[in-house]
């Protein structure tokens, strides 16, 4: 199911690692290596190493876009934490990872739970600096 959902997310325009191989015998998936940092690490470095408000706003906008595309396409991630979002070193592009709990759904409550998990993750990190939560409103412009 993880491979299927990640492939669907990619078709919806959500940046995900490339899936290289599915081994049904060993029950393993082989994905592209994402050379970057988890969003969690970047948020924790706010004010250091070039992590400024502009960069946080860009990341928040990318998160909102990605989640909006997922939900508009009938896909629920299931574990939207800052550790399951990476930022590529090469181009600062967001990549969503770990679709192990993802599923398809058109039920608004399922999507709301996805957003609630994300909100709790942000609040627990005290990451409202840089107005990250407000920037996530980009979600609404991607969701039809």
What residues are annotated to the active site? 79
Collapsing DSSP to helix, strand or coil, 29 comes out as: strand
Whole-number Cα distances in Å, 69 to 3, 8, 36: 18, 11, 22
Cα–Cα dist 65/68, whole Å: 5
End-to-end CA distance of the chain: 25
**For the CA atoms of the chain, what is the radius of gyration?**
15
CA angle, corner 109, sides to 15 and 17, nearest 5? Answer: 15
């Amino acid at each position: 199911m993880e491979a299927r959902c990640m492939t669907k997310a990619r078709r919806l325009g959500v940046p995900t690692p490339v899936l290289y191989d599915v081994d049904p015998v060993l029950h393993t998936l082989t994905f592209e290596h994402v050379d970057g940092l988890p969003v969690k690490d970047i948020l924790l470095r706010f004010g250091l190493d070039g992590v400024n408000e502009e960069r946080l706003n860009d990341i928040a906008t990318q998160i909102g876009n990605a989640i909006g595309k997922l939900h508009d396409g009938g896909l629920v991630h299931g574990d939207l934490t800052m550790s399951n979002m990476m930022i590529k070193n090469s181009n600062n592009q967001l990549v969503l990872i770990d679709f192990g709990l993802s599923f398809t759904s058109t039920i608004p409550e399922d999507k709301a739970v996805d957003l609630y998990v994300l909100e709790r993750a942000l609040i627990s990190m005290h990451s409202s600096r840089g107005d990250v939560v407000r920037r996530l409103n980009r979600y609404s412009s991607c969701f039809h």
